[in-house]
A and B are shown apart, each in its own frame.
Chain A
């Protein structure tokens, strides 16, 4: 991958701005946990092109930064035709009065250069307009021309982080299943793309049914289920080399629903033997597997807690599908789902505080979150069929599959904040399902 070769240079730029009076409202800040918020107005003028080769990038970088911020639902972009004073130089003083007049509370200025070797270097500053001062220090990122979108995402991550106090999630990727063909004979391919739908790359052809890719904690590998042997089996694929190997191939068994443990060396998954589905874990170094559940009921969809100590999973041992938590070594499990309806596909949040799940109730499907003891259940979505949540690395946004009903029914990816706000369809080339959100790159 070109990403591998991208070097990221962080350089603190000189901070020349003179101290200014604080705005009456205090520092520029969004508290994401607040119940209802008014999106924060911001402006991102086109970056300054420091060489003619950077003219196009100067605009494109600004557009991607703006799209990242607007896409969160926490920010609202002020369009360029409202601007009073153009930004003509990265180093000139900012005309705060002109930005205040159009109520731009945050201003991102930037400059970009492309050198003779094709290396892109972009720098930016974030301004708290009403305080009349810079927020944080200017930063500079370098990369290849092909990787310019990553530079924009890194800048947007910095802006998001400085204003919200949370880690960003824009410089991330999503592994998913690209779908095509009629509903009865859907062709499925493993694919990967930037979180915003750019740079789609296919990792498998459609000759074998594939399901549910899951990123490794380092973002360099995915686990998935493939029927290439004729039976569902868990595979691991190295993204850079697109080489794969089967992890679980015991004769007469089927395996699926894999996920990495946070250590990246252990995989938890479901194995079907004699019609019964249980949860196993495997050390991918030695290939040695250990059975963690041994009930005649269905135990599947395991997800390991970020500290590696516990596994949340789905079981129908009570007679209906519910969510349970057990030790990462197996043993007794306690049920945490408490509401009406049926629960599945639990996923531990990267912060460790919540479990996202799929809920089926009264012929509707929901994506929801609950605390890890099952309290404070909150449904975020409702539709004919929503399933398979995956967490943004900062634990603030969830992506999932939504399928429409009927003969023309299709799957698409959607994202939603854990507050239930900002439901959005994620751009994909066609039908798509089973998203897995990468860690921050």
Chain B
């Protein structure tokens, strides 16, 4: 009974503390909104970041190269500006006007003519194994735009294959007979894409991937920002003298600590839930194949975060200590665990070291649920169990500190 009295009281106090509520609920939403806007995901609204701006120089000027240029121009997500020369194209990239320069070399038609049907069907094995370079196509971008360059290469190569394939098929005696049977009226339409058909936007999927990886990272980090608020809540009780009064009341230390923790747990779960809900409603974020399991991960992450908050709260003695300990812990653990960048990018040693943080387990669970078509459910459950174990460990340490704080 005593525990719920404390829960009710703290929820009331928190509800009347607008600043704390803003930090806990509004700030993460603002942050995620900024993130959504920067990846161009707001309610289908497209910004410039969602379009690959390409300067294209066709040094070939042949039927084959013109077909490729038209295919690229008809593709969604790419804004193609035709320019007269290679120098103009690369100049536009240098000036920052265009993300990448695509140069279709003079021998493009010749290289296309040399391809067999097998080369086009299995591009990774035959004459196309070298990618766009095999066709005499070059893509230039600034060194900082490696991701965009890779995307442009991929898009150009895909478009090239789609325009090349019908041409080769028409040349190949076996394919010609086959095409005549299945598409008697429009023999070329089976494989050649319509010029104006909007294909998948490559940047849109890139943005989605960023969102699916980055949002959980920041969600986990924000969960642990609670440490600050919890530390200050305990400190405030200490300064007011009410903590002593609570210790004097007929309520056990564990019930008291649980009572102090539960309101923050509720807020943390609410915070995580709101982040995902906003991600979904405003930015079309995917909840993955098992959305219900997201709740489990949110709850376990919140449990670990609030228990760590409790432990820190029993250690600090001043506002300055709260800021120092909490911020150091939040930023360091977030950095080590991969909240700021995909965990796959972390060096192996750091990835292993990060397993000592609850953040890492939460991120692994989110990774399974949000980026895998078939999440490994036992793996997700294992992550949640680890988070619960962290929570228990932090809570027990906090309870021990609390019991011995004044004696």
Is the pairing of A and B real? Answer: no
